[in-house]
A and B are shown apart, each in its own frame.
Chain A
Amino acid sequence: MSWLATLGRFAGFCFDLARANTFRMPPPGRTMEEAYRIGVQSLPVLLLISVFVGTNLSLQGYAAFTPLGGQRLVGMFVALAGVRELAPIIAATMVAAKAGTEMASQIAVMRTREQVDALEVMAINPLWWLVTPRLLAIVLVMPALTVVAIFTTIASSWLVATAQLGLNGTEFLDFVRTSIDAKDLLACELKGMIFGVVICLVSCFCGFTSAKGPEGVGQATNSAVVIASVSCVTLNFLLSQVLYG
């Protein structure tokens, strides 16, 4: 039953956040600051993971299709698996691991050090001050990071396909181009935005509801990355069902 109670508290948190932002502009200047931080934090690890996801997609596609004489289809495999499915989820898990954990731990530490109470006493709504800019920032940044993940995955898989596996590079790109269209890219962006909202809300909720003290901060950080990642993977399946099912 405790998960049901937690779900209820999460719904209450989202309601309070919506109420805190009703008829009110977001804190000035803070959104771009947060967007820069989320983007810069997540970019290096996202690039690294995307590169190796791309290389492995080429290797696995080549290994799977060669016995069937369809090694030319590696480009299509990379486009369908990499772009449609993996790129948004890679971006989401990396942002959850880097930015999401930072959000949870930062807010949990602020709670422990009474800084959240201090905001309240200074007549500043902590949800408006701490969550709103992060939410707006992640909605701005996630689509951009998803695009980075898409292009890095395609580029690295193309490199392995041409340089190591000896496939025709132009043909590879033609298969990529014909396998995905504007709708797929829009779907990726939509997934990215939804995942961003989930990561931010879950991470901030874990921070705001953490127990005080070092143990509470650790638990909040851990819960944030686990719940956000599992939620994104589950949502990815549901969204793919709706968009492609």
Chain B
Amino acid sequence: MADRIDEDAPPIELRGVSKRFPTSGGGHLVVLDDVSLTMPRGQTTAVIGPSGTGKSVLLKHIVGLLRPDAGEVRVFGVDMARASEAMVYTVRRRIGMLFQDGALFDSLSTGDNIAFPLDRHRPELSTRQKRERVEQVLEMVELPGLYDRPTAALSGGQRKRVGLARAIVMEPEVVLFDEPNSGLDPMTSDAIDQLIVGMKEKLHITFVVISHDIVGTLNVADRICMLYGGKVVASGTTAEVTHSDHPMVRRFLGRNLVLPEPGDPGVATLPHIG
């Protein structure tokens, strides 16, 4: 089963995943401790938690960049740590990922960056078809006409959008977002959140968002998983988690947020100041 895609399996499933890293003092730092989590198809799952709680490490396990010390990470039913390299690459073709800074290639133009996975994996497409597809996704991320712009000339927010365009250009079934709001001003951050919500409505695919931006997370997520000290301290629908009595969840979310009621998909807001 490790080496075969199971279309009926949840897109992402973690079972008892543990990971520790050696420290300079000769000890070990436990980053993930027996984490079990299922991310349902077609929903947006946000993984939240303070810095250093293993959120990005969790994301790297999902795409197979890291292997767990114990437990399994299954993506479309494939055990990413034990599957062959060819199968891991097959699974990755069904995943798009937005990196923190976009991870754009500086030597390529904006359009060529987005076309990069198409050039490698869709040789049957003509140059014109690829350009059309790139322009289509540029429209989706609200950056029309930027095909030829050098990536060095893009702002932080534009880099994120171009990174997102590259993540979706192959029409993946899962898109992972690593801190989509980090380093952005509140307005640009809000625009990125709106973009994620809009994408979700248009594409109906599975999103996983790693973030510590609470307001943004509550606005985009269907489900929330909170990590603390490498463990899952709360997991469920957005309303369930925001009304959790767990002290760390309460402390992290902040008591002053205006939270949606259980079953209400309403928008979380910060209180009016002044």
Contact = CB atoms under 8 A, between A and B. Distances in A.
A133 B90 CA distance: 23
Interface stretch (B19-27, B95-103, B186-194, B222-230): B95-103
Given A113-B103, A123-B92, A118 B97 contact: yes
B99 A122 contact: no
B65 A122 contact: no
Contact of A123 (B60, B93, B99, B103): B93
Interface in B126-150: none
Contacts of A115: 103-105
B99 A120 contact: no
A125 B120 CA distance: 11
A114 B63 CA distance: 14
A132 to B, nearest CB: 14
Grouping DSSP codes into helix (H, G, I), strand (E, B) and loop, the A interface class, with mixed when no group exceeds half, is loop
A176 B65 CA distance: 57
Interface in B106-164: 116-117, 120-121
A117 interface: yes
A120 B103 contact: no
B65 A123 contact: no
Interface residues of A, number: 11
Contacts of B65: 117, 120-121
A115 B90 CA distance: 20
A121 B95 contact: yes
B96 to A, nearest CB: 8
Interface string A45-67: 00000000000000000000000
A124 interface: yes
A15 B89 CA distance: 19
B103 A117 contact: yes
A123 B167 CA distance: 12
A114 B101 contact: yes
A235 B99 CA distance: 42
B182 to A, nearest CB: 12
B103 A114 contact: yes
A164 B254 CA distance: 84
A190 B159 CA distance: 46
A120 B93 CA distance: 10
Contacts of B92: 120-123
Interface string B53-92: 0000000100111000000000000000000010001101
Interface of B: 60, 63-65, 85, 89-90, 92-93, 95, 97, 99-101, 103-105, 116-117, 120-121
18 contacts: A113-B101, A114-B99, A114-B100, A117-B60, A117-B65, A118-B99, A120-B64, A121-B65, A121-B95, A121-B97, A122-B121, A123-B92, A123-B93, A123-B120, A124-B117, A124-B120, A125-B85, A125-B89
Q: Which 9 A-B pairs have the closest CB atoms?
A: A118-B103, A123-B89, A123-B92, A114-B103, A114-B99, A121-B97, A122-B117, A123-B93, A115-B103
